[in-house]
């Protein structure tokens, strides 16, 4: 059973439901549907079904009373995955998926000597995914009797591309102290500006200029808080973009 938005939805009060099958998936779309006895509600969302018990819920327009439904799934036995129940969780331009958007992380097993550290790398893949927030918890177990197991939450937010400037790809990594390593290519004779953000609403310019290079080359920068407003580890999220503003 799949519950993209299990509530008193009444298509007889307005809206339509469409079903379309493809070779590798099927889509069920609720289009401008209403809740029972609630004409102010507008619900447009999709449940996309894949083989192997994989699914995506995509929410385009969700207005009105949204805190009385259930979102989640349950198999034919007793295994259930409750995502939300009678709470303000869902919103417009949102997506939920149980498809694998991350690949096997490196550094997830091994031995670490006392007072040493080791990096854990997650490879995220946003291709074929809708705009929205994707989250996955990993549990790090260990044999330290004085410490509890650690839960690592990996979150990926997919937003609409800002095409007002031509942006360059940035490869990122993380150091043990939470500093972020940035690596990107610059083209000879072109001017670039590095910016960072913690919420995607406001972008702050890196306070160290990127010099114009005489040759194509790879640039490496470490964000340890010296050239930004704070250390990356002090924020839940830090994003970067490299803008080519050559006249």
Cα–Cα distance between 171 and 193 in angstroms, integer?
A: 16
pLDDT of residue 53: 81
pLDDT in tens, 190-204: 888 899 988 777 889
Q: C-alpha angle 67/68/72, rounded to 5°? A: 90
What is the domain partition of the chain in residue ranges?
2-97, 108-158, 167-244
Whether 69 contacts 6, CB under 8 Å? yes
Higher-confidence residue of 105 and 209: namely 209
Higher-confidence residue of 192 and 81: namely 192
Spatial CA neighbour of 89 closest among 117, 114, 57, 111: 57
Mean pLDDT, range 8-23, rounded to an integer: 90
pLDDT of residue 162: 54
pLDDT of residue 159: 73
pLDDT of residue 175: 85
pLDDT of residue 165: 45
Query: Which of 198-224 are b and which e, b meaning 16 or more Cβ less than 10 Å from the residue's Cβ?
Result: beeeebeebeeebeebeeeeebebebb
- Architecture (CATH level 2) of domain 167-244: Sandwich (2.60)
Q: How confident is the model at residue 86 (pLDDT cuts 50, 70, 90)?
A: very high
Q: What pTM does this model have? A: 0.47
pLDDT in tens, 132-165: 777 777 788 888 888 888 887 888 887 765 544 4
pLDDT of residue 243: 87
């Amino acid at each position: 059973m799949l519950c993209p938005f299990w509530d008193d939805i009444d298509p007889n009060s307005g809206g339509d439901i469409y079903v379309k099958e493809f070779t590798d998936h099927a889509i069920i779309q609720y289009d401008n549907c209403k809740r029972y006895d609630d004409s102010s509600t507008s619900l447009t969302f999709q449940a996309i079904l894949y083989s192997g018990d994989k699914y995506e819920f995509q929410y385009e327009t969700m207005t009105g009373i949204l805190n009385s439904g259930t979102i989640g799934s349950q198999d034919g036995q007793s295994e259930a995955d409750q995502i939300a129940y009678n709470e303000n969780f869902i919103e417009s331009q949102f997506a939920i998926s149980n498809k694998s958007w991350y690949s096997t992380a490196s550094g997830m097993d091994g031995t670490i000597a006392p007072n040493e550290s080791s990096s854990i790398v997650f490879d995220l893949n946003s291709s074929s995914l809708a705009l929205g927030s994707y989250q996955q918890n990993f549990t790090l177990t260990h044999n330290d009797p004085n410490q509890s197991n650690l839960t690592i939450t990996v979150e990926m937010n997919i937003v609409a591309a800002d095409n007002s400037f031509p942006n360059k790809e940035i490869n990122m990594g993380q150091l043990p102290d939470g500093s972020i390593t940035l690596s990107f290519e610059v083209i000879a004779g072109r001017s670039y500006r590095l910016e960072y953000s913690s919420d995607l609403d406001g972008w702050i310019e890196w306070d160290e200029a990127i010099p114009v290079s005489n040759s194509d080359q790879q640039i490496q920068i470490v964000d340890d808080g010296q050239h930004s407003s704070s250390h990356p580890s002090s924020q839940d999220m830090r994003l970067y973009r490299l803008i080519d503003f050559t006249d």
